[in-house]
Amino acid sequence: MAASTHKPKSTKRAAKRSRSKPASKSPRQQKTTTSKLAAGQTASARSGGGDSSKQETVLGMLRQAKGTSIAAIMEATGWQQHSVRGFLAGVVKKKLKLKLESEKVGDKRAYRIAKPGAAS
C-alpha cells in the first residue's frame, strides 16, 4: 500500500496561523477604530466646538425650570427610551446623587433636578 500524504488537521491549522501577519490589524479592528474616530468628530462638530457631551446636554435640560420630557431627551441624544430612564436612575440619581423631581403636565411627565435645599 502507498503511504498517505495527508497531513493531520492540527498541522494544517498551525501552518495557517504561522502565515498571518502579526503586526497588521484585522479589518474588524480597523473598522472599529475608524468608526470611533468618525463618531468623535461628528459629536464635536454638533456641539459647536466645545467639550460638550450627551451627559452635559441632558443635565442642562434637566436644570431648566420647566424641566424636560423623556421624549425630548431621546431626540437630543439619539438614545432609546430605556436608555434615558437608565441614565436618570443610574447616573443622575445614583452616581451624581442629584434629587430628581417629576411632575405630570397634562398627559406628559416633566423631569427636573430639584433645587438644593428645596423641601420635598
Calpha distance 38→94 (Å, rounded): 31
Question: What is the tens place of the pLDDT at every residue in 80-110?
Answer: 999 999 999 999 999 999 999 999 988 999 9
Split at pLDDT 50, 70, 90, the class of 117 is confident
The pLDDT assigned to 92 comes to 95
Res 47: pLDDT:
43
- Collapsed DSSP state (helix, strand, coil) of residue 72: helix
Would the pLDDT of 4 be above 70?
no
Which is more confident, 99 or 4?
A: 99
Summarised one tens digit per residue, pLDDT across range 13-58 is 555 555 555 556 555 555 554 444 444 444 444 445 456 899 999 9
Q: Which one is predicted more confidently, 17 or 68? A: 68
